[in-house]
Amino acid sequence: MSQEPEFPFERARRVTSEENQKFRDAIADQFGVTLRKRERPAKGEEEKYEPISIRFHPKS
């Protein structure tokens, strides 16, 4: 039996958003865990930065 050395990307397809939601629902039903979306977390007020700029004289 011959095994392919790598994943056949030319035969692969993308998972649709409907399929992805079904996967999430199945995990939630089976394990009782809801998966969170993988986004950048929101920053709190103390973590936000105020933009500033500093200019230096070229000869100093």
Q: Where are the alpha helices (DSSP H) in the chain?
A: 17-31
Identify whether the C-beta of residue 34 lies closer than 8 Å to the C-beta of residue 28. Answer: yes
| Cα(30)–Cα(18) distance, integer angstroms | 18
pLDDT tens digits for range 1-57:
567 678 888 889 999 999 999 999 999 999 998 887 778 777 777 777 778 899 999
Q: Would the pTM of this model clear 0.85, i.e. be above it?
A: no
pLDDT score at 56: 92
Instruction: Give me the phi and psi of 37, to 5 degrees please.
Output: -70, 145
Identify whether the C-beta of residue 35 lies closer than 8 Å to the C-beta of residue 24. Answer: yes
